[in-house]
Amino acid sequence: MVWAAGELLLRHYYIDQDKDLRARKMTADQLAELLAFLFYRGLFLENPPAERLVYTRNLLGMVRGDKT
């Protein structure tokens, strides 16, 4: 279901015109890197290499919260 997050992001951005998401005014390159970042994490269960990221480096610290 890795594709589901990407599909929802694109749907909210382009079809639903989500105002909060659109307020970020992402370029096509930024949106593509965000999608690639999400797919990489979903497929490999780890972050992509930091040296390959331009726009999404700030997401490297994102970790799953402890549910205790």
SS3 of the chain: the string is CHHHHHHHHHHHHHHCCCHHHHCCCCCHHHHHHHHHHHHHHHHHCCCCCHHHCCCCHHHCCCCCCCCC
Question: Is 16 within a domain?
Answer: yes
Considering the domain boundaries, does residue 33 fall inside one?
Answer: yes
Number of domains in the chain: 1
Q: 64 lies in a domain?
A: no
Asked if the structure places residue 22 within a domain, the reply is yes
Q: Which residues contact 18 (CB under 8 A, 6 or more apart)?
A: 12
Residue 65 included in any domain:
no
Predicted pLDDT at 30:
93
Q: What is the pLDDT of residue 67?
A: 61
Can you give the pLDDT of all 68 residues of the chain as single tens digits? Answer: 666 888 888 999 899 999 998 998 889 999 999 999 989 988 998 999 999 999 999 888 877 666 65
Evaluate whether residue 67 is within a structural domain. Answer: no
Which structural domain range is residue 22 located in?
2-59
